[in-house]
């Protein structure tokens, strides 16, 4: 039996050091994805080139918020009043995939997901990690639909309206229970990551407020520094994430 002596030869001290430094570099690189975002700086002049980009970004963020607020009501009430969907309400938001609100559901979740995916993609911090995975989970939610409802659902005597269509090619290919399981798992992950992102953001806001209060009191006691001045001036926008 041949023995690969080359592979079993003990590593020289220098190659071991090189390997461990590479691991350390990798760990340090990964660590950056779990660091908190520092308190943000002053926003650029809103009429400058940079400022226009920031404003566009803020508008996008505002629209994402509107979608989140309106989506649950739109699904439930438009399906009922416009499409006469039955049963009313349905059992979950995802099941509206099989109602007249399918496009609204998929486009809304897809838009939120894509925004979250790209939200802080160029940064290396915890916000990016959380929003990246939230976005990824959101994209998978719409790619892998939930299981279609029964023709006559449990506890009802009237057939579902509209009648659930046939399975999508993806559901046929992967089997419907598989896509349903992926959908459930990614839905949970989506909610979890959005919740964590929100919690982290509120935590950062409190920290920034505390830091600003401390710096402001330093300033009043005569310990003004340029950094403290900048932070206190940017107080109205501290706590909200900047691009």
Cβ(59)–Cβ(79) below 8 Å: no
Residue whose token pair is 């509206």 = 96
Structure tokens at 213: 């209060």
Q: Does 136 bind other proteins (CB under 8 A)?
A: no
Shortest CB 61 distance to other proteins, Å: 4
Rounded Cα distance, 27 and 55, in Å: 36
Which residue lies nearer to other proteins by CB, 143 or 192? 192
Cα–Cα distances in angstroms (integers) from residue 132 to residues 5, 26, 40, 191, in the given order: 44, 19, 20, 13
Q: Does 226 bind other proteins (CB under 8 A)?
A: yes
Q: Which residues are registered as beta bridge partners of 86?
A: 161
Out of 26, 69, 118, 163, the residue judged to bind other proteins by CB under 8 A: 69
**Contact region for other proteins (CB under 8 A) — 4-12, 77-85, 210-218, 222-230?**
222-230
Which residue lies nearer to other proteins by CB, 25 or 198? 198
Q: Does 237 bind other proteins (CB under 8 A)?
A: yes
**Contact region for other proteins (CB under 8 A) — 10-18, 21-29, 59-67, 122-130?**
59-67
Rounded Cα distance, 216 and 210, in Å: 10
**Other CB atoms within 10 Å distance of the CB of residue 69:** 10
Shortest CB 162 distance to other proteins, Å: 18
**For residue 231, which of 53, 52, 38, 58 has the smallest C-alpha distance?**
38
Shortest CB 6 distance to other proteins, Å: 53
Residues near other proteins (CB under 8 A) are 42-47, 54-55, 58-59, 61-62, 64-73, 76, 89-94, 154-155, 187, 191-192, 194-195, 198-199, 201-202, 226, 229-230, 233-237, 240-241
């Amino acid at each position: 039996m041949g023995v690969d002596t080359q592979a079993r030869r003990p590593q020289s001290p220098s190659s071991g050091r090189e390997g461990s430094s590479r691991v350390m570099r990798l760990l340090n690189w990964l660590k950056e994805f779990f660091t908190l975002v520092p308190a943000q700086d002053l926003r650029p002049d809103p009429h400058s080139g940079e400022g226009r980009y920031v404003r566009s970004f803020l508008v996008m963020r505002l629209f994402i918020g509107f979608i989140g607020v309106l989506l649950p009501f739109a699904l439930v009430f438009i399906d009922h009043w416009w499409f006469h969907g039955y049963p009313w309400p349905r059992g979950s938001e995802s099941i509206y995939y099989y109602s007249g609100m399918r496009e609204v559901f998929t486009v809304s979740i897809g838009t939120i997901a894509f925004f979250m995916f790209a939200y802080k993609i160029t940064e290396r911090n915890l916000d990016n990690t959380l929003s990246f995975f939230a976005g990824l989970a959101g994209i998978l939610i719409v790619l892998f639909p939930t299981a279609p409802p029964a023709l006559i659902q449990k506890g009802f005597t009237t057939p579902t309206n509209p009648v659930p269509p046939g399975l999508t090619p993806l559901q046929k290919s992967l089997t419907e229970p598989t896509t349903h399981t992926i959908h459930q798992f990614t839905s949970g992950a989506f909610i979890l990551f959005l919740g964590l992102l929100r919690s982290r953001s509120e935590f950062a806001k409190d920290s920034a407020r505390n830091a600003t209060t401390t710096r402001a009191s330093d300033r009043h006691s005569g310990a003004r520094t340029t950094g403290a001045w900048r932070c206190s001036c940017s107080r109205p926008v501290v706590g909200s994430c900047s691009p």
